[in-house]
Amino acid sequence: MMKMRTKRSLALAGSAMALSLALTGCSALSGILGGGDAQRDDDGNVTEGANIDVFSLKVGDCMPATDTTGEITDLDVVPCSEPHTDEVFYEFELEDGDLPSDDEIMAAVEAECVPAFADFVGVEWADSTLDFWWITPTEETWTQANDRIVQCVIYKPDPEDATGQTQLEVTGSLKDAAV
């Protein structure tokens, strides 16, 4: 999973993208992969914990601590009012064409997720105690399902962990956290 805090300068090319998560966005593969969506209220918010197909993950969804390294097909979600470690705060589409290189995806993440982080949290990413990682299409979902979605996922790193890999549980959304 991508932990950008340890790479504060955003010069993350190469090995950093190897840490990025894969498989997101397009509901076209839901039927193929199985799973489904969580129960949601009229505003689209998760109302009870569930294991969902990764293509059902939406902005505003909160996820409890889980191992989400590598390629994923499903995730657990919970209402944001329950303890969780991750929250999808923004998503954007990559341009059509060939699957972008790791460097091109990194540039898109810098251009899209970093400003969205400041809008969401109320503090610039470089000044925040919070951090984010992202979920990207794979070659397979890019070509077979026209998947172009990148999702930006915010979390609170444990200040006791110098690697920035340990995430603290939070209750409630990190929107407007201003930390």
Report the pLDDT value the prediction gives residue 165, as an integer from 0 to 100.
80
Closest CA to 165 of 125, 133, 120, 128: 133
Average pLDDT, the chain: 82
SS3 84: strand
Q: What is the pLDDT of residues 15-30, one digit of tens each?
A: 233 334 444 333 334 3
Count how many residues are written for the chain. 179
Q: What is the pLDDT of residues 29-76, one digit of tens each?
A: 434 444 589 999 999 999 999 999 889 999 999 999 877 677 888 899
Model pTM score: 0.81
Dihedral over alpha carbons 116, 47, 169, 4 (to 10 degrees): -30
pLDDT for residue 102 is more than 50 = yes
